[in-house]
Structure 1
């Protein structure tokens, strides 16, 4: 039996947005977040009929806002013909229920909007499972919003008794579904571990592209590797991680993975649900943090990404900061970027400007992690020479008496293979 507890009436088309500016938020942040919410809502193909920003001194348990303000906003939403109210603030299940009773309209919060956008964009089995798990966990305490027959009870047959209420039954079904999704995700994580171990048999350095949503991560991957990952000017254009091989100078290979974009107030349950996808970030040799330098809020996007990396346990990774879209950025934006990250790189995924410097820096980071080794390989072991070219970055190669002298950087995991030929480290 399928249960869809977050289902709304079939005709949700017109949204009324409510943003919140609290006393502990920097000036103007409420307005910025409300604009971001508008883009998120429009990604769900809803029409935003109106939006308003409310200054909140202290939240109330029942409605978040004061009752007078709530009634005023309810009247505005109805006057604008809205059929759904969207809060740019997390609502408790009770607050959502109270708002729906007050207005007679569907009421959702930022977290549910993000969950719906993710659900709309999920394609692979893993992404679908992860979004399904996050939605079910969000829905469990909110089942009373989704059913109108919750007081109905079912008897226990010949045993009699009051029976199990519909709400209890629905909760049990959702809990069973959560357990099933977690089991399926565990299988996916195990499969990814097997695939990773296979890759490590012929180890190639890895880098993960991270950053705020719509910063140009997929465009950068496409431009670097010739991939064809979906890259559109919208939030969360792609959720599924994509790994492609980048060929650097000296026959050095690098596996580059594009990951899901981050966003301010990313629901914690999504961070947890996407651990399987984002573990590529945790195991990467280094991270490429992409920022849209043409976006006036890139400093906040920088802080958001670092915060999510902290949650993932990846904050101590080597991070290469890349400011994208320099071809459309104003000079003052570039100056702000240099102040924020003095050693950051400046590129354009569209024009490929700055790619030479970016690729050189990647080679340097790989070299730092691999170290330099000199080997002497006999002429009758060209299989070893070929293998060394596959494994690492060859810096020097020359033929000497009866052998090939090679100097380069090779993965430590393969040290046993080339140990017999090592001259010096």
Structure 2
């Protein structure tokens, strides 16, 4: 066993350090929370040094760590070699001293509770040391497995995350420590947040910070849930905090971080998802303090795109976006790779591991950009061939999950994947559609839009969205059954404005009107007024309602000066060869 004394040793005499080291030879009975003789010794030492002193005790009663702090606080070192399971307690309890000043006692403060939650300690105790150097009352607390769990001891105050023992002198403690810990761990083991969640699957807590200007926060939280579901992540809890000013380090406050950690324990969560883009330093700080994986909304969308990409072009675009996102977030993880200091005999061996990683990423991005440019040129060639054949092109755009792929399948009699998930379609698909009047146009399905589309994705999918610039008509599909459909329209138009596409011919198509017919809270004339207001068309891509009217609108916009009868209709074989060329 190591006999190292940790913490603030500056100014201590060798004899005082030896007294601290001798604490390692002390042992208490496993069933006892703390012993009175050790309480007297800690109080005497703490009073002598005028500093807080803490000891970490394992479940056999042995002292594993001796720590010296300042007058006001104590800092626990990194605990290596102890339990890492997020759903279990660490197997260590911390007892430390609180020096009384001006006759005022001191119980457990927020820093103590942060240590209790973040380190998943079995128990934490603050031993008062009076102005004579004598031990006073001890304040104890442990994590509650759930709000309905009560210890046999009398509680000092109510709390939904911690149980506080009534303060008493150490020699008056009667609780059996081993029985208490067994009851706690048994209770944690009983908690099964979702029976259908497997042990190795991602279980996420969603973290949403509500700012004063966030009026549609409920809808945004719902969308974050849908994104998590689409990525294959099971959501086991949500944590919402109202803040006027974000914490620059953790985004949320320290008090909320305590809730995050305990909810993670209770729900066996292994992932935190924030509904905002985090800076590299925020991700690093949150990961270090919670010991959980931390991602933001951008990274979640990138992961969905990585899962959905099927074509070579799609995979390259996703990889480009991921590399752009990862580059500023690289950091050195091992001092062994650090460059040696300069000077005689101290010139470094070359690049650090971090610099090599960054250079490799940049080299790979350059290769991918060249490959993407080649694919983009091939796509441009195909577009020119179609233009030679004088095919009209209609591009489907809209908020993700508006039903674009379902409409493509219905109009072109295709069978592409269409799911009730966000970004079900990623790679662009073009199919020929033949009208009853004999006209033929090409219908292109594009990736769905979403609010606050990550900048990395806008850049990476430029080649895909180039299809829109060659379209003769943009069909803006809107899920009218969605309660936030107006904001979806605005989000799409914002992206179109960024891409200089607002002046392109555009037709708004309200999808899923069959679902509106079942709603009793809407007036019979609601759809009619809506169509007049937006000069749009109402359809149901699933049932086929309104599709004939939609085709008529498309024909009137695309083939104004042409005869309603086309003499020669290319065969399916010819059409297919042109589309795949």
Answer yes or no: same fold by TM over 0.5: yes
1:152 alignment partner in structure 2: 337
Please give the alpha-carbon distance, in whole angstroms, between the structure 1 residues aligned to 2:244 and 2:378: 49
CA, structure 1 residues 389+290, in 2 after alignment: closer, same or farther (shift >3 Å)? same
* Cross-structure match for 1:408: none
Q: Would you say the 8 A contact 1:293–1:337 is kept in 2?
A: no
Cα deviations by residue, 1:169-206 (Å, 9 ceiling, x for unpaired):
11111111111111111111111011111111111111
Q: Does 1:22 align with 2:211?
A: yes
Q: Say if 2:270 and 2:293, in contact at 8 Å, map to a contact too.
A: yes
C-alpha offsets along residues 246-298 of structure 1, whole Å, 9 cap, x if unaligned? 11243211111011111122212111111111111122011111111111111
The residue aligned with 1:76 is 263
Paired position in structure 2 for 1:262 = 449
Deviation at 1:314, TM superposition (A): 1.1
For the residues of structure 2 that align with 1:99 and 1:338, how far apart are their CA atoms? 50
Matched, 1:226 2:443: no
2:437 and 2:204 map into 1 onto residues whose CA distance is 55
Count of residues paired in the alignment = 362
Rounded to whole Å, the distance in 1 between the matches of 2:347 and 2:480 is 66
CA distance in 1, matches of 2:353, 2:528: 56
Q: Which residue of 1 aligns with 2:143?
A: none
Contact 1:19 1:88 in 2 (8 A): yes
Q: In the TM superposition, what is the alpha-carbon distance from 1:372 to its structure 2 partner?
A: 5.5
SS of alignment partner, residue 515 of structure 2? coil
Instruction: Give the whole-Å Cα distance in 2 for the aligned partners of 1:141 and 1:277.
Output: 25
2:534 is paired with a residue whose SS is: coil
1:124 aligns with 2:311: yes
Q: Provide structure 1 residue ranges, at least 5 long, that are not aligned to the other structure.
A: 1-9, 374-384, 392-425
Shift of 1:77: 2.6
Residue 164 of structure 1 aligns to a residue in which SS? coil
TM-score (norm 1): 0.80
CA distance in 2, matches of 1:292, 1:307: 17
1:367, CA displacement in angstroms?
2.8
State the distance in 1 between where 2:415 and 2:347 align. 61
Which residue number corresponds to residue 197 of structure 1?
384
Corresponding residue for residue 287 of structure 1? 474
Shift of 1:135: 0.3
Name whichever of 33-42 and 208-217 sits farther off. Answer: 33-42
Give 1:13's match in structure 2, choosing from 177, 202, 207.
202
User: Which entry has the higher C-alpha Rg, 1 or 2?
Assistant: 2
TM-score where L is the length of structure 2: 0.59
Give the match's secondary structure for 2:437.
Answer: helix
Aligned to 1:360: 552
Q: 1:19·1:31 contact (CA, 8 Å) conserved in 2?
A: no
Alpha-carbon distance between aligned partners in 2 of 1:191 and 1:97, rounded to the nearest angstrom: 41
Local SS of the residue matching 2:360: helix
Return the alpha-carbon distance in structure 2 between the equivalents of residues 354 and 37 of structure 1.
32
Asked if residue 92 in structure 1 is aligned to residue 279 in structure 2, the reply is: yes
Equivalent residue number for residue 395 of structure 1: none
Displacement of 1:60 after TM fit? 2.8
Q: Structure 1 runs of 4+ off > 6 angstroms?
A: none
1:102 lines up with 2:289 in the alignment? yes
Does the aligned pair in 1 maintain the 2:405–2:417 contact within 8 Å? yes
Of 181, 185, 210, the match for 2:368: 181
Other-structure match for 1:299? 486
Could you tell which deviates more after superposition, 181-190 or 67-76? 67-76
Q: 1:202 to 1:165 in 2, by over 3 A?
A: same
Pair 338,306 (structure 1): closer, same or farther in 2 beyond 3 Å: farther
Shift of 1:390: 5.6
Aligned Cα root-mean-square deviation (Å): 2.5
Q: Which has the higher contact order (CA 8 A, sep 6+)?
A: 1
1:349 paired with 2:541, answer: yes
Aligned partners of 1:160, 1:229: CA distance in 2, in Å? Answer: 62
Separation of aligned partners in 2, 1:302 and 1:261:
12
Asked whether the equivalents of residues 209 and 252 of structure 2 are also in contact (C-alpha less than 8 Å), the reply is: no
Could you give the per-residue CA deviations for residues 51-78 of structure 1, whole angstroms, max 9, x where no partner exists?
1222121223212223333344333333
- Residue aligned with 1:213, SS: coil
Q: Distance in 2 between matches of 1:319 and 1:169?
A: 48
Higher share of residues assigned helix: 1
CA distance in 1, matches of 2:266, 2:352: 38
Residues of 1 paired with 2:346 and 2:385: CA distance? 58
CA contact (8 A) 2:508 2:534 kept: no
Displacement of 1:37 after TM fit?
1.0
The question of whether the paired residues in 1 share the 8 Å contact of 2:512 and 2:541 is answered with yes
- Tell me how far 1:91 sits from its aligned partner: 0.4
Tell me the residue number matched to 1:207: 394
Q: Does 1:51 align with 2:274?
A: no
Partner of 2:167: none
More off after superposition, 294-303 vs 68-77: 68-77
Matched, 1:140 2:327: yes
Hey, what does 1:423 align to over in structure 2?
A: none
Residues 238 and 260 of structure 1 are in contact (CA less than 8 Å); yes or no, is this contact kept in structure 2?
yes
Q: Secondary structure at the match of 2:443?
A: strand
Report the Cα offset of residue 95 of structure 1: 0.5
1:244 maps to 431
Alignment partners' CA distance in 2, 1:337 and 1:310: 28
Q: Distance in 1 between matches of 2:293 and 2:512?
A: 39
Paired position in structure 1 for 2:347: 161
SS in structure 2 at match of 1:295: coil
Please give the alpha-carbon distance, in whole angstroms, between the structure 1 residues aligned to 2:417 and 2:272.
Answer: 31
Q: Work out the CA distance in 2 between the residues paired with 1:45 and 1:372.
A: 49
Q: Secondary structure at the match of 1:251?
A: coil
Q: Which residue of 1 aligns with 2:177?
A: none
